[in-house]
């Protein structure tokens, strides 16, 4: 794809992201048809947004999938604030209960591959997290993975909860998730990490970015996959999500 088409695709997606709007598929000349082009558009959005990357989402790849997306500083929220502003659809938002690994130091581009031990040594702490879900497309279910990769794989932000035991979290492949919404019956979900061990996608992300001449930075949070799909919760209601015996996140979502 020509550079000006990559730029225009990124401009369209960024405008929708900043304004909380949705639209049709990108025009054919700007529509990514492969992973490299989709990732190039994603990177161009990061250049245009004018904010640092404060977090990443990632998952295990497949031959036809790279699972990663940046999360910008204005889209990373703290549960301690008690309320969280989101782009809501019909008074609701989808959330994904995850763990976030916070980096103590950079994992920059370099010649040598990153080993799991290298990445483990860079993790300062682990926190509970909720990925906040949205799309910049009106008919997202009809589009290709490449189109979603260009758009950040349904991410509109991350809500960070309390710090938890890092060693315990590293081995937490299964986790009982209890969702409590004010005025409703509790919902119990049998949580299972899609990668098995929650740090596996982080290892992949560090090495993938290195291979592209990019890297991770100190202070960034990395989420690695939902334990319980993408449950929908209402805005304007007090919500608590219990992560097994680890701890809980309590918040109230409000529409922007």
Assign residue 246 the CATH number of its domain: 3.90.850.10
Instruction: Note the pLDDT of residue 146.
Output: 98
Token code pair at residue 162: 């309390």
Predicted confidence (pLDDT) per residue in 221-248, tens digit: 999 999 999 999 999 999 999 999 999 9
Angle formed at CA 148 by CA 189 and CA 187, multiple of 5 degrees: 10
Tell me whether residue 7 is in a domain. Answer: no
> Binning pLDDT at 50, 70 and 90, where does residue 6 land?
very high
User: If DSSP codes are grouped into helix, strand and coil, which group holds residue 52?
Assistant: coil
The DSSP code sequence of 132-162 is EE--SBTTGGGS-HHHHHHTTTTEEEEEEEE
Give per-residue pLDDT as tens, 54-93.
Answer: 999 999 999 999 999 999 999 999 999 999 999 999 999 9
Q: What is the pLDDT of residue 247?
A: 97
Per residue in 129-177, pLDDT (tens digit) is 999 999 999 999 999 999 999 999 999 999 999 999 999 998 999 999 9
In a domain, 8, yes or no: no
- The first and second tokens of residue 210, run together, are 């290195």
pLDDT for 207 equals 98
DSSP letter, residue 118 = H
Q: How many domains does the chain have?
A: 1
Element containing residue 55 per DSSP (H, E): strand 53-58
Provide φ and ψ at 66, rounded to 5°.
Answer: -110, 120
What's residue 128's pLDDT?
99
The pLDDT of residue 38 is 99
Query: How far is the first Cα of the chain from the last one, in angstroms, to the nearest whole number?
Result: 35
Q: Which one, of 221, 189, 200, lies nearest residue 72 by Cα?
A: 221
Q: Is residue 173 part of a domain?
A: yes
* Cβ proximity of 209 and 63 under 8 Å: no
d(Cα 216, Cα 43) in Å, to the nearest integer? 14
- Provide, rounded to the nearest whole percent, the portion of the chain with pLDDT above 70: 100
Distance CA 74, CA 54 (A): 8
**pLDDT recorded at residue 166:** 92
- 170 close to 198: Cβ distance less than 8 angstroms: yes
Specify burial of residue 194 (Cβ count, 10 A radius: 0-12, 13-18, 19+).
Answer: middle
Count CA atoms within 13 Å of residue 117 on its CB side: 0
**C-alpha dihedral sign at 223, 224, 227, 230:** positive
The kind and range of the H/E element at 8 are helix 3-19
Which residue in the block uniquely carries the two structure tokens 């349904």? 154
Answer yes or no: is 20 within a domain. no
Helix (H) or strand (E) holding 96: strand 92-103
Residue 235 lies in a domain: yes
| pLDDT tens digits, one per residue of 88-141 | 999 999 999 999 999 999 999 999 999 999 999 999 999 999 999 999 999 999
Range of the structural domain that residue 238 is part of? 51-255
Calpha distance 71→87 (Å, rounded): 15
- The token pair at 52 is 């640092």
- Give me the pLDDT at residue 105, please: 96
Q: Decide if 23 is inside a domain.
A: no
| 27 within a domain of the structure (yes/no) | no
Is residue 139 within 8 A of residue 25, CB to CB? The reply is yes
Is 46 a member of any domain? no
Average pLDDT score, the chain: 97
């Amino acid at each position: 794809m020509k550079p000006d088409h990559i730029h225009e695709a990124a401009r369209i997606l960024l405008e929708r992201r900043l304004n909380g709007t949705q639209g049709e598929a990108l025009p054919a000349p700007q529509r990514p048809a492969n992973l490299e082009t989709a990732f190039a558009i994603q990177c161009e959005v990061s250049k245009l947004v004018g904010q640092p990357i404060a977090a990443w989402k990632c998952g295990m790849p497949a031959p036809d999938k790279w699972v990663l997306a940046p999360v910008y500083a204005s889209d990373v929220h703290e549960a301690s604030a008690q309320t969280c502003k989101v782009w809501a659809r019909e008074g609701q938002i989808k959330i994904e209960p995850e763990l976030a690994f916070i980096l103590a130091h950079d994992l920059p581009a370099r010649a040598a591959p990153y080993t799991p031990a290298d990445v483990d040594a860079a993790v300062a702490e682990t926190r509970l997290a909720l990925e906040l879900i949205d799309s910049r497309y009106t008919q997202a279910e009809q589009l290709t993975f490449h189109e979603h990769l260009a758009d950040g794989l349904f991410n509109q932000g991350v809500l960070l909860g309390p710090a938890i035991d890092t060693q315990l979290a590293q081995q937490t492949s299964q986790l009982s998730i209890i969702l409590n919404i004010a005025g409703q019956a509790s919902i119990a979900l049998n949580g299972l990490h899609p990668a098995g061990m929650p740090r596996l996608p982080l290892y992949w992300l560090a090495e993938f970015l290195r291979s592209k001449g990019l890297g991770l930075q100190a202070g960034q949070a990395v989420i690695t996959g939902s334990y319980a799909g993408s449950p929908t919760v209402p805005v304007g209601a007090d919500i608590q999500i219990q992560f097994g015996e680890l701890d809980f996140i309590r918040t109230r979502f409000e529409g922007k």
